[in-house]
Structure 1
Amino acid sequence: MSRFARRALFALAALVPFGLGRPAAADSFPSRTITVVVPFAAGGPTDTVTRLVAESMGRDLGQTVVVENAGGAGGTIGAQRVAQAKPDGYTLLLHHIGMATTPTLYRRLAYDPVGGFETIGLVTEVPMTLIAKKDFPATTLAEAVKVIRRDQEKLNYANAGIGAASHLCGLLLMKAVDAPMTTVPFRGTGPAMQEVLAGRIDLMCDQTTNTTEQINSGAVKVFTVTTPERLPALPNVPTSTEAGLPEFQVGIWHGLYAPKGTPAEVTARLSQALQVALRDPKLIARFAELGTTPVAQEMATPAAHRKFWLADIAKWKPIIQAAGQYAD
């Protein structure tokens, strides 16, 4: 799938430790509950992905894996908490593409957004959808673009704060249609979705894990998916290319992190559990319902994750700098 498959060949070497069996020093880990911090509000797309992964990982680890939401400041509040946590494997972070944009968006942080973490493995790459309130005066992307260009000063667009996936997607949308809108930040896309459903927000760009059920129920309008191909979960929704806006493409990847200094044998054990979770038929089926799939096993490793993450930081840096929008 997408970029992960193209990088899988370069990550094969990362599988060697797992072929040799579980590290002996990790035999006592874990011995108690593990907390996975989601740096966004409950009910949002990253929260949904995390809860599915946590449940499955917990079965392999033989311990409860709880999810704790610490939203705000574009995901940096939750990330800071994990970066400053004890590096013992019991406090983890599941974050999305914001981990690649934060180093540029934020010029002053109380933690190191790159050096403060150990990578555990990638999880999934989720497509985005452009949705609108039910009575938005358009039914196709072409019609929506006309309305946006005509009424840009009157329309409002929701996001989960600077650096959130919805913010990045909105930047690409407004650049593609050359029409800025009033943006309304929320503490997460869960609360933002409630405002769209209530008709108080006009538009939002969000991950399929948060929009598929609302789209299929008819609770919101949908104009496009930001993928090269249509999604099985949304077969009647055209791609941005089909809809006439090929430059409007973005996928939101997710990864699992531990604080810097977490022992290698612990991150290896966590990565092993993540790989088991991503093979779980129930998780795969639920991901499919939400319009996404797990990454290839080769990408759910610390080495492959770090390589991919650093490459995406380099990709987004000039885009953010050109936009001139910073969170601080």
Structure 2
Amino acid sequence: MANLFKRTATALLFASVSMAAAAAYPDHPINLMHGFGAGGNADSVARVIADAMGKRLGQTVVVEPRTGAGGTIASAYVAKAKPDGYTLIMLTGGHTASAAVRKEVPYDPVGSFSMVSTVSRFPFVISVKADNPAKDLKQLLDQARAHPGTVTYTSVGVGSTQHLTGELLAAKAGVSMVHVPYRGGGAPVQAVLSGDVNVMVDTPTVTAPQLKSGKLRALGVTSPQPWPLLPGVPTVGSVIPGFTVMSWLGIAGPADMPKDVVDTLNRTLKDVLADQAVQKRLHAMGSEAWYGTPTEMRDMIATTTEQWKQVVKAAKIPLQ
């Protein structure tokens, strides 16, 4: 009887400590990392989400870029961080693309992370400098077909979704285009505006301001239907039937984060993404809010990684 009482008391003590820890979370600032440059889609969305999360959690959520290698440097750092909920990452669609195109990455794209929730989804925009002779996507592809290897396109890094989207576009169209990777942020758009690179494959967040200013011309959007936030821009599928690429952003932490912490973060993001002010800010960037459970996010990443592997194989994209 005494042993039973002792075990019960011990169990109650651990339960009370666990509840106290959960109630205290978070009791100091949270770092939200991402792997891309300032001003890019991941950075812009991360700052919107971090601000809204911080207000609801009562702690500052600090956005910290750790650029390079198509986001894998930041992902590797977070995968090895202490799983206490104070080091998180804004994963991008490039997380699954890198896992598909690289011979190896220093983490398991699913198993090394505690998924929290997706936050947004969006297509990519194929665009050129306003004075480019190609007035539409067909003309650009005809140009690439007539002069193989002379048309260049940007991305935010080798193995990024932008990179694979460009490779898939070239493969499906039967043309040759040269990939010119950058470290993200505003570098790709500046490369196109300066004339160093011909074509930009990037998010509406990065592309829309240059479209509105008239500095870039959109040739196509990779959504299955015209994207309402880019009126008048035709789908790539209207030129290459069946061509569709949609990407996403989502928050995760290191594997083995306490369930109570994951649940707290997930509930917070559900509230954030239901906020019309946040939705409006995401829409202005060309994205739509997209909440999901940790299980839904985990399953989506696993499925998408396999889909990109099939694309890499079918398009005969060399592993990096």
Give the SS at the match of 2:24.
Answer: coil
Relative to structure 1, is the Cα distance of residues 231 and 323 closer, same or farther in structure 2, using a 3 angstrom cutoff? closer
Cα deviation for residue 278 of structure 1 reads 0.6
- Rounded to whole Å, the distance in 2 between the matches of 1:147 and 1:326 is 24
Q: TM-score, normalised by structure 2?
A: 0.89
Partner of 1:71: 67
Query: 5, 26, 42: which one pairs with 1:46?
Result: 42
Cα deviation for residue 326 of structure 1 reads 4.9
- Rounded to whole Å, the distance in 1 between the matches of 2:318 and 2:85 is 32
CA deviations over 1:303-324 (Å, ceiling 9, x no partner):
1111221121222222223344
Give the SS at the match of 1:183.
Answer: strand
Structure 1: 4+ residue segments shifted above 4 A: none
Q: TM-score, normalised by structure 1?
A: 0.87
Alignment of 1:152-301 (within 5 A): 152-242=148-238, 244-295=239-290, 297=291, 299=292, 301=293
Give the SS at the match of 1:82.
Answer: helix
Partner of 1:18: none
Cα deviation for residue 55 of structure 1 reads 1.0
Cα deviation for residue 51 of structure 1 reads 1.1
Query: 304, 307, 310: which one pairs with 2:299?
Result: 307
Stretches of structure 2 lacking an aligned partner (at least 5 in a row): 1-18
- Rounded to whole Å, the distance in 1 between the matches of 2:131 and 2:186 is 20
- Rounded to whole Å, the distance in 2 between the matches of 1:322 and 1:240 is 19
Cα deviation for residue 279 of structure 1 reads 1.4
Residue identity matched to 2:93:
I
Relative to structure 1, is the Cα distance of residues 320 and 104 closer, same or farther in structure 2, using a 3 angstrom cutoff? same
Stretches of structure 1 lacking an aligned partner (at least 5 in a row): 1-22
Give the SS at the match of 1:163.
Answer: coil
Partner of 2:309: 317
Relative to structure 1, is the Cα distance of residues 153 and 325 closer, same or farther in structure 2, using a 3 angstrom cutoff? closer
Give the SS at the match of 2:31.
Answer: strand
Size of the alignment, in residue pairs?
Answer: 302
Partner of 1:145: 141
Kept in 1, the 8 Å contact 2:167–2:317? The answer is no
State the identity as a percent: 36
- Rounded to whole Å, the distance in 2 between the matches of 1:93 and 1:246 is 35
RMSD: 1.7
Q: Which structure has the larger Rg?
A: 2
